[in-house]
Amino acid sequence: MDVLGQIQIFSTRFLGIFIEAVSFLLLGTLVSGLIEVFVRKEDVIRFLPRRAGRAVFAGSFLGFLFPVCECGVVPVTRRLYQKGLPVAVGITFLLAAPVMNPIVFASTFSAFGFGVVLVGRYLITLVMAISVGLLFTLQRSPAKLLSPGSISTLARSAVGGGGAGIETPQRPHLLPGLIKSLRYAHDEFFDMGKYLVIGTALAASMQTFVPQEELRKVATDPVLSVLAMALLAFVLSVCSTTDAIIALSFANPINGFTTGSILVFLTFGPMVDIKSTLMYLGVFRRKTVVYMVILPLLISILIGIWLNLNVRF
């Protein structure tokens, strides 16, 4: 086998995925930097409905107001908790926001066009985030759900008068604000960039070095493919702005992975992966995090397998 030729092919596939994906990643980090600097997130809480059920539903769409991917969503949620957001609404926001996001919509559209993958990704994400959020409305006491660390900041803000105690940053001037946004984007780009490079390298290797007949056995199995893509999503931790382009390399129409498994990758992955689980542990109690990982996993796997067995795409 011609080794140099194979490396050349790997490189072309790698750069294709990377160039397409990194553009959406950069747009995402830039927007999230601008939001970090210019938008006062606490203003939004006032618009949420009072009733828990409706607030959970509204919370699942909050992401369109703050286009943050999974790396940015945890600090934003923590800040919203300090401003009095109900825990269940925050969990729904946390799970839905990485997908409920115009940049993720654009990258998913660019990879799959308008069709079952795009629509399915949004519907399944809503079902998952809202049902998990509604389950958490049953537990009204934040102390049972949040980690002691986040509870203490809540307590402090309560002493300061219902959230007004936390200093609210002044809206910055345009130019210094822009520079600050760019510096935020810088950190986030390097942080997420490493996952993108690893994910891209894996996707390009699978297409170049792995015999496709071997892969086909797993890829076309309605159950195994779903489990494999759930595991891959968890381990790869790629940013939700770019995961559609990575997923595309597994969805080749001749011998690609089942549509159900691609949807699991695109719905479970943004909610739960190694990186986000670690960040969840900083805000929630361990038991809460176990539910936040297991429930989305089970729901997405069940939907994925059901789709594979019952729907012809």
Partner 1 sequence: MRTRKWLESAALLLLGIYLLETRLSGEISYYIAAQFFWLPIMAGIILIAIGVAQVSYLLGSAGQSSTNPDLLLARSPHTQGVTWLSLILVCVPLVLGVVLPAKPLGASAVGTSGIATSLNSLNPTGSTGTFSLAPENRNVLDWVRAFSAAATPDEFTGQPADLIGFVYRDIRFNDQNQFMVARFAVSCCTADALAIGVIVEMPDSAKYKQDGWVRVRGKFQVREFDSHQTPVLIAESIEETAMPERPYLYP
Cβ 244 to partner 1, closest distance in Å?
Answer: 9
Residue 38 interacts with partner 1 (CB under 8 A)?
A: no
**Cα–Cα distance, 90 to 86 (Å, whole number):** 6
Specify the residue for token string 């429930």: 295
Applying CB under 8 A, the span of 28-36, 118-126, 159-167, 228-236 interacting with partner 1 comes to 28-36
Interaction residues for partner 1, span 158-197 (CB under 8 A): 172, 176, 179-180, 182-191, 193-194, 197
**Cα–Cα distance, 81 to 42 (Å, whole number):** 9
SS3 content of the chain, % helix, strand, coil (to 5): 75, 0, 25
Task: For residue 284, list its beta bridge partners.
Answer: 146
Nearest to 206 by CA among 2, 10, 11, 20: 10
CB nearer to partner 1: give 57 or 67.
67
**Cα–Cα distance, 225 to 219 (Å, whole number):** 5
Cβ 114 to partner 1, closest distance in Å?
Answer: 8
Nearest to 60 by CA among 98, 32, 116: 98
Cβ 50 to partner 1, closest distance in Å?
Answer: 29
Residue 43 interacts with partner 1 (CB under 8 A)?
A: no
Residue 70 corresponds to which amino acid? E
Contacts with 239 (C-beta within 8 Å, 6 or more apart), sequence order: 25, 28, 69, 70, 71, 192, 195, 196
Residue 63 interacts with partner 1 (CB under 8 A)?
A: no
Residue 273 interacts with partner 1 (CB under 8 A)?
A: no
**Cα–Cα distance, 11 to 205 (Å, whole number):** 9
Cβ 252 to partner 1, closest distance in Å?
Answer: 7
Interaction residues for partner 1, span 93-152 (CB under 8 A): 110-111, 113, 115
- Judged by CB under 8 A, the residue of 32, 92, 157, 258 near partner 1 is 32
- Judged by CB under 8 A, the residue of 138, 211, 310, 312 near partner 1 is 211
**Cα–Cα distance, 191 to 186 (Å, whole number):** 9
Residue 9 interacts with partner 1 (CB under 8 A)?
A: yes
**Cα–Cα distance, 301 to 273 (Å, whole number):** 15
- Judged by CB under 8 A, the residue of 134, 201, 223, 235 near partner 1 is 201
Interaction residues for partner 1, span 212-251 (CB under 8 A): 212-213, 245-246, 248-249, 251
Q: Which residues bind partner 1 (CB under 8 A)?
A: 2, 5, 7-9, 11-20, 22-24, 26-27, 30, 32-33, 36, 71-72, 74-75, 110-111, 113, 115, 172, 176, 179-180, 182-191, 193-194, 197-198, 200-201, 203, 207-208, 211-213, 245-246, 248-249, 251-255
